[in-house]
Amino acid sequence: AQTVTQSQPEMSVQEAETVTLSCTYDTSESDYYLFWYKQPPSRQMILVIRQEAYKQQNATENRFSVNFQKAAKSFSLKISDSQLGDAAMYFCAYKYSGAGSYQLTFGKGTKLSVIP
């Protein structure tokens, strides 16, 4: 079974600084997707960034970028120029891309605080 581990229950960052959230996963599959979701206190889960395992290039979305290390099964999220609105729970998630697999497998999350 696939597992996703987020080893940092809580992180904090100064406004305008950069922070990196860690995620490792365990799978025997070679084709899959990885995601970072953000969940603000209002609880609506929002997709931050998505990475296809077959792509070597790291995904980037504005201030958010990932460091995808397939051999190490590591998928970290870097937030640059942190803003107060970035404060939230961040969940790393995995999805096998093969037929018959529907679910996302989530880590336990990292709570990010942004200090003004």
Partner 1 sequence: GAGVSQSPRYKVAKRGQDVALRCDPISGHVSLFWYQQALGQGPEFLTYFQNEAQLDKSGLPSDRFFAERPEGSVSTLKIQRTQQEDSAVYLCASSLAYGETQYFGPGTRLLVL
Among 28, 44, 56, 57, binds partner 1 (CB under 8 A): 44
Q: Cα-Cα-Cα-Cα dihedral of 42, 74, 97, 91, to 10°?
A: -10
E strand or H helix that includes residue 112: strand 110-115
Applying CB under 8 A, does 108 fall inside the site for partner 1? yes
Strands (E), 42-109: 46-52, 60-61, 64-69, 74-79, 88-96, 105-106
Applying CB under 8 A, does 43 fall inside the site for partner 1? yes
Among 20, 50, 74, 76, binds partner 1 (CB under 8 A): 50
Phi/psi at 19 (5° precision):
-135, 150
Applying CB under 8 A, does 103 fall inside the site for partner 1? yes
Applying CB under 8 A, does 106 fall inside the site for partner 1? yes
Whole-angstrom distance, CA of residue 7 vs CA of residue 24: 8
Q: 37 or 86, CB closer to partner 1?
A: 37
Provide the 3-class DSSP secondary structure of residue 30: coil
Applying CB under 8 A, does 73 fall inside the site for partner 1? no
Applying CB under 8 A, does 46 fall inside the site for partner 1? yes
Applying CB under 8 A, does 105 fall inside the site for partner 1? yes
In the complex, the residues that contact partner 1 under the rule CB under 8 A are: 4, 35, 37, 42-47, 50, 91, 93, 97, 102-109
